[in-house]
Amino acid sequence: MKTMSLLSVVSEQKPRQIAVRVLTERLSQEEYTENLLEIELSRARLSAPDRGLCQELVYGIVRWQETLNWLIDRKTEGRRQKPEMQVLLQLGLYQMFWLDRIPNHAAVHETVEIAKELGFVAQSGFVNAVLRGYLRERVETEKLLEEVKIAQPQIGYSHPEWVYQRWLERYGAEHTAKLMEWNNTPARTYARINTLKADAAKVTAQWETEGVKFIPRQYDWIEDGLIFELESHPPLAGLKSFKDGFFYIQDPSTLLSVRELDVKAAHSVLDLCAAPGGKTTMIAQQMQNRGQIVAQDISDDRLALLRENYVRLGVTCVVASIAPNAVIANPAQRFDRVLIDAPCSNTGVMRRRVDLRWRIQPEEVERLRETQLELLRRAAPRLKPNGIMVYSTCSLEPEENSQVVQQFLSENPDFELKSERQLTPFGNDVDGAYTAKLIRVRRQ
């Protein structure tokens, strides 16, 4: 059950107070937890250990909220608590059962004191009673938490029932459990070497001087020496190697679609839904910064992020524009390659987006399917004969992946499916991703 080992017990209550504030605010706001936390942390001057503790508390409690609420219900006979009280109980229980190096008595005491500071003096005894009840039953509760993973996996691994059932039908119990466990662990950080500016030897030598600890990683869809897992590092934005554009933070799964695009120097490429630019800049890297990439997205803000990244990385062959109007505005232009990195349910990247499992609804998958099909339909006429169009998502759902591609092919007989592949966390040890490679075989 342990997810983090703290270097030392943080006695200052401020990180916990910030965590309670963020967790309470997320219940009444549409803003993502990550954004709320970043705002709060930017206002507070916390030490690195305090900042790490605050982030672990917030993200961990959001991930495990179903299991935490189940524990609370057992001691309160299912009575609904006020949001602030529920968060306080979650805070105490998470520290007791999910964190190392936080003494149980400290977790209980500090949670009770925070309750008093927030004005819940009368209820502080109730908080104390619930937490101390579990403190007396710690061994039995730890066993119970393991048993519920088998008896009620959606509670034991803290996922919505509909998500669990959907994956269970497709993957079976063992793989579904592994997938949910993956989603409950902190995401790893990967760096892709930018060969437009440096090679792996140069970058890793500089990382060693900057205090970055790294491990090279190999995948069958990525050339060796391109991807490194960053085990630990100072803040990346402050590193000279980052500012100089020597690398880009990118999960290995996102590079499968670029490999399938099979770009060559001097090709013309249409890159739809291009922001923040990981795939765009990798395409430019493979093209040796030659040819032209027309990179499109839906807003000026997203295009600004795209530009920021390709400028830092030294990419000069990109022309950025707003979509979809730009697609319609110049229908005569044809491209050698088209990449559609479609908006999707993101079920393959749930561990990177802590709120996602609680926000997404079953009907969202069908709604997104129509958007995805429309992107394929709009992009298809822009591809040259014998050109390659790659459709990709970070979804695990066939309704957004193979079924979308099959419907598109049924409507467009001049396209053929060359290959398709689904990456999964339990099968490939990376985020979930789907890629389909389509060939335009004749003129319309």
CATH number for the domain that contains residue 134: 1.10.940.10
The DSSP output letter for 299 is -
Average pLDDT over residues 56-81: 94
pLDDT band at 443 (very low <50, low <70, confident <90, very high): low
Q: Is the pLDDT of residue 71 over 80?
A: yes
| Contact predicate 93/85, CB 8 Å | no
Identity of the amino acid at 395: S
Q: What is the pLDDT of residues 281-319, one digit of tens each?
A: 999 999 999 999 999 998 899 999 999 999 999 999 999
Domain contains 121: yes
Cα separation of 53 and 57, whole Å? 6
Structural domain total, the chain: 3
219 with 120, same domain: the answer is no
CA 275, chain centre distance (Å): 15
Q: What is the pLDDT of residues 55-67, one digit of tens each?
A: 999 999 999 999 9
Average pLDDT over residues 322-335: 66
235 with 297, same domain: the answer is no
Q: What is the DSSP string of 13-68?
A: SHHHHHHHHHHHHHHH-SS-HHHHHHHHHHHS---HHHHHHHHHHHHHHHHTHHHH
145 with 198, same domain: the answer is no
321 with 200, same domain: the answer is no
11 with 138, same domain: the answer is yes
Q: What is the pLDDT of residue 331?
A: 64
Q: What is the pLDDT of residue 44?
A: 87
In 225-324, where does DSSP find H-type helix? 240-243, 256-261, 278-286, 300-312
CA 107, chain centre distance (Å): 29
Q: What is the pLDDT of residue 45?
A: 83
Domain contains 19: yes
325 with 220, same domain: the answer is no
Q: What is the pLDDT of residues 155-174, one digit of tens each?
A: 999 999 999 999 999 999 99
Domain range holding 100? 4-156
* pTM over 0.75, yes/no: yes
Q: What is the pLDDT of residues 247-272, one digit of tens each?
A: 999 999 999 999 999 999 999 999 99
Cα separation of 116 and 109, whole Å? 11
Domain contains 255: no
Domain contains 161: no
Q: What is the DSSP string of 81-138?
A: PPHHHHHHHHHHHHHHHHEES--HHHHHHHHHHHHHHTT-TTTHHHHHHHHHHHHHTH
Average pLDDT over residues 21-27: 92
pLDDT band at 407 (very low <50, low <70, confident <90, very high): very high
Which residues participate in the annotated binding site for S-adenosyl-L-methionine? Answer: 273-279, 297, 341
Q: What is the pLDDT of residue 89?
A: 97
pLDDT cut 90: percent of the chain above it = 84
Average pLDDT over residues 330-358: 92
Q: What is the pLDDT of residue 4?
A: 41
141 with 287, same domain: the answer is no
Domain contains 200: yes
63 with 135, same domain: the answer is yes
| Contact predicate 288/302, CB 8 Å | no
Domain contains 162: no
Domain contains 26: yes
Q: Which of 200, 186, 256 is nearest to 422 (CA)?
A: 256
pLDDT band at 324 (very low <50, low <70, confident <90, very high): low
Q: What is the pLDDT of residue 28?
A: 84
229 with 134, same domain: the answer is no
13 with 36, same domain: the answer is yes
Cα separation of 364 and 419, whole Å? 27
Cα separation of 107 and 102, whole Å? 7
344 annotated active-site: no
pLDDT band at 78 (very low <50, low <70, confident <90, very high): confident
pLDDT cut 70: percent of the chain above it = 95
Average pLDDT over residues 126-147: 96
Q: Of 7-11, 77-81, 232-236, where does mean pLDDT reach its minimum?
A: 7-11
Report the chain's mean pLDDT, rounded to a whole number.
92
CATH number for the domain that contains residue 410: 3.40.50.150
CATH number for the domain that contains residue 234: 3.30.70.1170
pLDDT: is 44 or 188 the higher one? 188
Q: What is the pLDDT of residue 158?
A: 98
Q: Is the pLDDT of residue 148 over 60?
A: yes
pLDDT: is 136 or 31 the higher one? 136
- Of 222, 249, 276, which marks where a domain is finished? 249
Q: What is the pLDDT of residues 86-97, one digit of tens each?
A: 999 999 999 999
Q: What is the pLDDT of residue 330?
A: 61
The secondary structure of the chain in percent helix, strand, coil, rounded to multiples of 5, reads: 55, 20, 30
Q: Is the pLDDT of residue 336 over 60?
A: yes
pLDDT: is 330 or 421 the higher one? 421
Domain contains 294: yes
Q: What is the pLDDT of residue 8?
A: 34
140 with 72, same domain: the answer is yes
- Of 214, 249, 284, which marks where a domain is finished? 249
Cα separation of 230 and 193, whole Å? 12
Q: What is the pLDDT of residue 5?
A: 34
pLDDT band at 79 (very low <50, low <70, confident <90, very high): confident
- Of 156, 180, 215, which marks where a domain is finished? 156
289 with 399, same domain: the answer is yes
Question: What is the sign of the dihedral through the CA atoms of 50, 52, 53 and 59?
Answer: positive
